[in-house]
Amino acid sequence: MKKLINSPDDVVQESLRGMEAAHADILKVNYDPAYIVRADAPVKDKVGVISGGGSGHEPMHGGFVGRGMLDAACPGAVFTSPTPDQMEEATKAVSSGKGVLHIVKNYTGDVLNFETAADLCQAEGIEVEAVVVDDDVAVKDSLYTAGRRGVGTTVLMEKIVGAAAERGMSLKEVADLARKVNAQGRSMGMALTSCTVPSAGKPTFELGEGEIELGIGIHGEPGRERTSLKTARELVDYMGEAIFSDLPYKSGDDVIVMVNGMGGTPLIELYLLYAELERVAKARGITIKRRLVGNYITSLEMQGFSITALKCDNQMVQLWDDPVHTAGLRWGV
């Protein structure tokens, strides 16, 4: 395993130290329990918005803490949901009396730990609403399974819902908006290479020179299907079809999209993929109103990408354009 680290056990903590040192104007870090919180938290008269999940997805979530987005983020061990004590303390740290929204990605661990945290917070008189993101069209959903994974829509939700909270909306309004974003957002990902969990010391899976994994999540887990290498055009055709036909999106719809690298994908490729996505959207009569192209929700050093599309209305676009000042996203300030 080749990584730019000191020891596998210290990666998360040492990376948090760097984040804190680099972004003192935006955020503070608490180490025990671990959470990243806005430098000016709690913000008076504002619904708190927090999220969390395993580390290894940077800039998500810590890179989205700041004005106009998250009030706090709880980083777990690499690819491992954080624990309820982190979420409880983070919730308290951002609570200003208007309630706190928990943005939870749909993984058994995340859901269970956030549930416990919500119980603990509610027992202490903090009103908590949890919204679960489950947008991954690669996962076949059913009553009897754990449902779909939460992936890229999380980033768009954190931006939009964070702006709504910043505008002073109530907990109920913010939570309803978050559910609407989840209902209208869809994602799919693929990998050219695996990644290596530092403590595991070797790649989670092995791919041959001509092989790719289609329908991966964000934890280095294998995808739904192993197949042969494809061109960017073929991949975006396939993934675009899977996403756009799932909601389904109709001709005339407006969307916010994200072409997201898995951490080891160079920007030159992401822009090339974005050009393909524009083509696919145009062919379906779908208008891309806003977009992100970059590494936003990653799996360590994995090479690959995901596409997220969010059917949007004017309000969502306005909230998207609202100022945001975080380590990972910044505009309007």
Partner 1 sequence: MITLSQILAWITQLDTVYTENKAYLTELDSAIGDADHGINMARGFSAARKAMEETPPADIGAALKAVSMTLIKTVGGASGPLYGTVFLKASVTCMGQESIDEEGLERLLSEGFRGVQQRGKAQVGDKTMIDAWDPAVTALKEARASGGDVAAMLQAATAAAEAGRDATVPLVARKGRASYLGERSKGHQDPGATSTALLFAAARDTLS
Ligand X SMILES: Nc1ncnc2c1ncn2[C@@H]1O[C@H](COP(=O)(O)OP(=O)(O)O)[C@@H](O)[C@H]1O
Of residues 68-87, those binding ligand X (CB under 6 A): 80-81
**Exposed, middle or buried by CB within 10 Å (0-12, 13-18, 19+), for 67?**
buried
- Max alpha carbon distance in the chain (Å)? 56
- Exactly one of 39, 146, 283, 333 binds a copy of itself (CB under 8 A); which one? 333
Q: Is the peptide bond before 61 cis (omega within 30 degrees of 0)?
A: yes
In whole angstroms, what is the distance from residue 190 CA to residue 188 CA? 7
Residue 291 per-residue DSSP state: E
Query: Does 99 interact with a copy of itself (rule: CB under 8 A)?
Result: no
**Which structure tokens are listed for 9?**
């056990």
Query: Does 287 interact with ligand X (rule: CB under 6 A)?
Result: no
The answer to whether residue 102 is catalytic is no
**Which structure tokens are listed for 60?**
């998500």
Residue 120 per-residue DSSP state: H
Query: Does 116 interact with partner 1 (rule: CB under 8 A)?
Result: yes
CB of 172 to partner 1, least distance (A): 27
Of residues 49-78, those binding a copy of itself (CB under 8 A): 55-56, 58-59, 63
Q: Which does 108 bind (CB under 5 to 8 A by kind): ligand X, Mg ion, a copy of itself, none?
A: ligand X
Of residues 51-110, those binding partner 1 (CB under 8 A): 54, 76-85, 107-109
The answer to whether residue 61 is catalytic is no
Total residue count of the chain as it appears in this document: 333
Q: Are 99 and 63 in contact (CB under 8 A)?
A: no
Q: Which does 266 bind (CB under 5 to 8 A by kind): ligand X, Mg ion, a copy of itself, none?
A: a copy of itself
Query: Does 193 interact with a copy of itself (rule: CB under 8 A)?
Result: yes
Q: Which does 7 bind (CB under 5 to 8 A by kind): Mg ion, ligand X, a copy of itself, none?
A: a copy of itself
CA distances from residue 38 to 42, 62, 140 in whole angstroms, order as listed = 8, 10, 37
Planar angle of CA 14, 20, 21, nearest 5 degrees? 90
Q: In sequence order, which residues have a C-beta less than 8 Å from that of residue 297 and are 6 or more positions away?
A: 57, 60, 151, 152, 154, 155, 218, 260, 306
Active site amino acids: 57, 219
The residues binding a copy of itself (CB under 8 A) are 2-7, 11-12, 14-19, 21-22, 55-56, 58-59, 63, 192-193, 209-210, 212, 229, 231-233, 235, 263-276, 278, 291, 293, 295, 298, 300-301, 303-305, 330-333
The residues binding partner 1 (CB under 8 A) are 33, 54, 76-85, 107-109, 112-113, 115-116, 136, 138-140, 142, 144-146, 149, 197, 199-200, 204-205, 217, 219-222, 224-225
